[in-house]
Chains A and B, each alone.
Chain A
């Protein structure tokens, strides 16, 4: 090959590589389907009536809870391990489990004379960690914005639960033969698919939950903050958290005081794993040649066959 054509080839290969790279970095900042739906949760409006919990339970056919949905003593209840809890979920609060896809928790914030209630459920990330960590591809992010789950391929490894930065997916530990991941699916099968809001949104008597296109919800959120700067913290939680989520929150109190993890990365969890994933092809391609080379260098004096020599040593 002539030197010039070699250089040309190298140059074009380099260009091709950089094009590929640009595409990749675009993928890294994927911020959701353009028409993905979402919900804006306004903590200033929530009164902790738990209507959303009841509606979710009914819509998803979940088992009846130990305490009825009009029993407000649950706000003071503690589960296993939660008596020590301080960080996530804020101070030993209830969390989602196999019987509840959504829970409301109560927070007493110093300086505010009434309690603040915060609903939690799956936030339906733009680039979900559960989805990217799943080795059987059981999760799907639908163009409508929901993160749904297919129990037919799930093996029950629970990596999604480790990966989810919001501690949302739960496991049906109580079942020996048909366990599965239990999590909010944005009422995808029964409602979202047909353009209808999820059951919890429809059940909310206070208008604390606003259903709409994610992009428009961001505008609504900013508008509310602009119009009532004294009532809100100037931040929309979920706009950037873990690469952005479909469910977002407005709060009257600092977010860390009402159970949100404010130290979450602003980029998708997948970005943290890419360092390793990038090393995989290199090991796969370089190692065989490298170690075969070592072998030739190290064993030359014995002649080529190592089999015979080792066999002899054996006997």
Chain B
């Protein structure tokens, strides 16, 4: 399946070739293949054909959005100002990126070095998730060229989004710094790496603060709409529910990605990673299931706190209970069985369930249960297509980095 193994390339993991000469940067980029061989490998992979098809339709649509306005690719709804770009791209991608701060905390703060093999993958997953949440934001903002305005031009410090803007941008820098060592090893810039290592603990703690606040802030954004969001989803402490649910979401996303890596990128994983991934997966499963229980309790308390039991008997209530079941109770049960039976496969399935479940919750909050008293919006096909296209770009970027930087393997050369 992978382009490289077919073409007898080397799983490049050192500065030097077997004969002792140094790999050039170009060779590192092409994974040790000739340009022709690399292209051949690209076209041989059926996954790439699917990606090409998505780009062929999606990229022109993105161009249309920037040339003819948001109204040309969405329903231009004034009742639903935030559509799929934010509903999925921002509110969905950000919780899936909580992995960086979770594993960073586990390893660096709590000293659980047994999770070291998966730490870099978790950090990278965090960085890319945030980065692409910002890409989605750039598609959705009316005037994306002004994205830096809340930082330098005009301040609205009492607004929740002000906090999100500052924290996401700061955290993005923190995450770049956290992932940078892998890049520095690959490119051979070791002094910079040493400096970053020396400030790791500070970076990690900064990551915890920023994550707590802006994961929560995304939830707090909906407290601006107490009358528009259905009472079962709305809660005064929904900022805490958003934060709490981001923990299983982020943890599970690393498990999902690591599963894909082990299945389709085995050549790139080193023995240390492959040896530990099962144990790491079960360890993460424990963390994720604890967070899921907390989240479930919070959900129930939020209904009790506002005395919304009677809503549960309506159609909205049934939908709410359905969400509760498929996004919390089901993955929680699966995780529990997986931990009890030490089944890595089941834990991976539970992780996929959790990821989809939390995204489902975010879409319900931002889209379905929003404006519950008016009418239900369905996104325009072009909006769906652009959302898929950006996700495909995310996938390609993710894969590009995993093939090259020492994320799934340990750099053999000087580092």
Contact = CB atoms under 8 A, between A and B. Distances in A.
B216 A279 contact: yes
A29 interface: no
Contact of A135 (B110, B142, B156): B156
B142 A265 contact: no
Contact of B76 (A87, A174, A313): A174
Interface in A282-305: 283-284, 287-288, 291-292, 294-295, 298-299, 302
Interface string B145-178: 0110110011110111111110000000000000
Centre residue among B78, B111, B116, B163 by max chain A CB count within 10 A: B78
Contact of B205 (A157, A165, A291): A291
Interface residues of B, number: 75
A307 interface: yes
Nearest to B66: A176
Contacts of B209: 283-284, 287-288
A298 B201 CA distance: 13
A162 B228 contact: yes
Contacts of A292: 201, 205
A291 B69 contact: no
Interface string B209-253: 100110011011101111110000000110100000000000000
B78 A161 contact: yes
B154 A138 contact: yes
A299 B111 contact: yes
A33 interface: no
Interface in B62-113: 65-72, 74-79, 81-82, 105, 107-113
Contacts, number: 217
A136 B223 CA distance: 19
A310 B217 CA distance: 33
B208 interface: yes
A277 B74 CA distance: 32
A154 interface: yes
B376 interface: yes
B100 to A, nearest CB: 15
Given A136-B154, A156-B141, A161-B81, A263 B227 contact: yes
Nearest to B372: A87
Interface string B104-143: 0101111111001000000000000000000000000111
A314 B190 CA distance: 15
B18 interface: no
B142 A179 contact: yes
A208 interface: no
B375 interface: yes
Interface in A88-140: 88-89, 95-97, 129, 132-138
Contacts of B220: 273, 276-277
Given A171-B81, A291-B208, A302 B161 contact: no
Contact of B143 (A82, A154, A163, A170): A154
Nearest to A293: B109
A167 B142 contact: no
Enumerate the 4 nearest inter-chain pairs by beta-carbon distance, A residue then B residue, closest first. Answer: A156-B142, A173-B71, A87-B373, A173-B76
Interface of B: 65-72, 74-79, 81-82, 105, 107-113, 116, 141-144, 146-147, 149-150, 153-156, 158-165, 197-198, 200-201, 205, 208-209, 212-213, 216-217, 219-221, 223-228, 236-237, 239, 373-377, 410, 415
Given A135-B156, A156-B146, A314-B410, 11 more contacts: A86-B374, A158-B81, A159-B81, A165-B228, A170-B78, A176-B72, A261-B227, A272-B224, A295-B110, A302-B111, A306-B200
Interface of A: 80-89, 95-97, 129, 132-138, 153-159, 161-163, 165, 167, 169-176, 179-180, 261, 263-265, 269-270, 272-273, 275-277, 279-280, 283-284, 287-288, 291-292, 294-295, 298-299, 302, 306-307, 309-311, 313-315
6 contacts: A87-B373, A89-B374, A156-B143, A302-B111, A306-B108, A314-B415
